[in-house]
Amino acid sequence: MKYWIIYSFLFLFVCCNNEPADLPAHDDANELDTTSLVDTKDNILLPNSGDQTKIKGVISGPQNLPLLINYIGQAGMENKGNITVNQDGTFDYSLDINTIGFYSIAYSQENSILIYLEPGSTTEIHADGSNMFDTYQLKEASDDSKFIKEYFSEYNTFAKNQQQLNSEMKALDFSADRKRKELIEQSERNRSEFNEYKLAFIDSHAEAPMLAFLLDHLNPATELEYIKKIGESAQKSLRGTHYNDLVQKVVGSKVQSQVPQAAVPGQISVGQMAPEIAFPNPNGETIKLSSLKGKLVLLDFWASWCKPCRMENPNVVRMYNKYKDKGFEVFSFSLDKDLSRWKHAIKQDGLIWPNHASDLKGWNTATIPMYGFKGIPFTVLIDKDGKIIETNLRGPALENKLISLLG
């Protein structure tokens, strides 16, 4: 979970709308030198007295691995060198930079922290090398490095609590509806409390560059105002940088997603017959959605690389186990490209129903023109006659709908 926090900015285009590209390997990531940007009136090139930017501190229990300093550049993570950690755990590293930037200090993707550097600044970090994210302290740092730690520490606590509740729900007997309802209500309270914190954080840090990392945590349907706020903030705090370019593209995409679209041929609507899907399963055998007529079917578009999809999978599994004997089926269609990753995710998430299909073409799948979705997870609930009942049901909304239909 921690590496998703550290690399969330890289995946702003990814979570529901695109498949993530592989990050460049550290040894191959030095081809672009983004520290030598052309000085224009819009670029944030801060006055530099000639002093180097310093990163120092103490790592207790240092790992038997290189401690990397990586820059979040236009092409992904760009390695800027290895930090030497002395036998007593101390380190002192200098960088020549003339523009602001986000950097990670990392033993690995899973064991890393994120900081914000300005030219000529000093950052002092104290951390346990075996678990840097949960243990690091900033003795000296930029305000944004401190804001990053503050916000993502809260987010990490929230995410761990939600994972614990999901695990408890997964372990429940199918008849334990009262306890399940209590856990769902607790989960919703946790989510509501964190959302209040998140929005208050944005309001109180209105021009902080690190707000760009929060875009992936905002729902365009309910929090579009705050998405626009981050876009306006980035125009000031990140002007002239590739970060601002990325933020504006993401903000524009999220704003556009909320503009009512004119009906187009092939776009689905409630009450119409669900378009046929006939594609191979993981064994190469063609399966058809129409073969499930007579059942209440959840058509679930997902992918192994889609974090929100994977987070929703335990809920779908629970609903399947609860209602499969009442005529409920799941038909999963994957936007994967890699057969082995698709099969591994099915096994890892316990997607035990037999109906799994994919054309392994990612976002070029033939199902998008038929169903008109723009992001995943995307679900279509289909009645026994093959007609569409509702779309985009998940979480408690899916459960409530199934309760109303199946009891």
Q: 48 pLDDT exceeds 70?
A: no
Q: What is the mean pLDDT of the chain?
A: 84
Query: What per-residue confidence (pLDDT) applies to 220?
Result: 84
Query: What per-residue confidence (pLDDT) applies to 264?
Result: 47
CA distances in angstroms from 271 to 265, 288, 380, 382, 383, listed in the order given: 16, 20, 12, 9, 10
Strands 53-60 and 122-128: parallel
Per DSSP, the three-state class of 276 is: coil
Q: 39 pLDDT exceeds 60?
A: no
Tell me if 69 is assigned to some domain.
Answer: yes
Q: Write the single-letter amino acid at 148.
A: I
Residues 6+ apart with CB under 8 A from 162: 187, 190, 191
Query: What per-residue confidence (pLDDT) applies to 20?
Result: 42
Q: Is 18 in the same domain as 42?
A: yes
Rounded distance, CA 233 to CA 147, Å?
15
What token pair was written down for 10? 């890289």
Q: What is the mean pLDDT of residues 200-220?
A: 93
Pick 403 or 332 by higher pLDDT. 332
Ranked by mean pLDDT, which of 161-170, 186-195, 259-268 comes out on top?
Answer: 186-195
Q: 16 pLDDT exceeds 70?
A: no
Q: Is 117 in the same domain as 157?
A: no
Q: What is the mean pLDDT of residues 139-164?
A: 93
85, 113, 143: which is the final residue of a domain?
143
Closest CA to 230 of 260, 200, 210: 210
Residues 6+ apart with CB under 8 A from 246: 9, 12, 212
Could you read off the pLDDT of 227-258 as tens digits, one per residue?
999 999 999 999 999 999 999 999 998 888 77
Tell me if 39 is assigned to some domain.
Answer: yes
Q: Is 222 in the same domain as 91?
A: no
Query: What per-residue confidence (pLDDT) applies to 281?
Result: 95
Query: What per-residue confidence (pLDDT) applies to 267?
Result: 66
Q: What is the mean pLDDT of residues 204-219?
A: 92
Q: Is 27 in the same domain as 89?
A: yes
Query: In this structure, what CATH number is given to the domain that contains residue 379?
Result: 3.40.30.10
143, 163, 189: which is the final residue of a domain?
143
Confidence tier at 260 by pLDDT (50, 70, 90)? low
Closest CA to 269 of 373, 358, 361: 373
Q: Is 109 in the same domain as 159?
A: no
Ranked by mean pLDDT, which of 74-78, 173-177, 304-308, 356-360 comes out on top?
Answer: 356-360
Q: Is 125 in the same domain as 193?
A: no
Q: How many domains, in total, are found in the chain? A: 3
Q: Write the single-letter amino acid at 404.
A: S
112, 143, 174: which is the final residue of a domain?
143
Query: In this structure, what CATH number is given to the domain that contains residue 94?
Result: 2.60.40.1120
Residues of the chain above pLDDT 90, percent: 59
Q: Is 63 in the same domain as 170?
A: no
Q: 157 pLDDT exceeds 80?
A: yes
Could you read off the pLDDT of 99-144 as tens digits, one per residue?
999 999 999 888 999 999 999 999 999 999 999 999 999 999 999 9
**Vertex 115: Cα angle to 110 and 120 (nearest 5):** 145
Q: Is 306 in the same domain as 286?
A: yes
Tell me if 270 is assigned to some domain.
Answer: no
Confidence tier at 185 by pLDDT (50, 70, 90)? confident
Q: Is 128 in the same domain as 165?
A: no
Tell me if 155 is assigned to some domain.
Answer: yes
**Any idea how long the chain is?**
407
Query: What per-residue confidence (pLDDT) applies to 178?
Result: 79
Rounded distance, CA 370 to CA 275, Å?
6
Q: Is 197 in the same domain as 126?
A: no
CA distances in angstroms from 37 to 32, 74, 237, listed in the order given: 11, 12, 17
Could you read off the pLDDT of 271-324 as tens digits, one per residue?
889 999 999 999 999 999 999 999 999 999 999 999 889 989 998 999 999 899
Q: Which of 36-45, 87-96, 159-168, 223-232 has the lowest mean pLDDT?
A: 36-45
Rounded distance, CA 396 to CA 393, Å?
8
Domain residues for the domain of 311 are 278-406
Pick 18 or 155 by higher pLDDT. 155
Pick 288 or 42 by higher pLDDT. 288
Q: Is 117 in the same domain as 213?
A: no
Residues 6+ apart with CB under 8 A from 144: 116, 208, 209, 210
Number of helices (H), then strands (E), belonging to the chain: the values are: 10, 15
Q: Is 132 in the same domain as 7?
A: yes
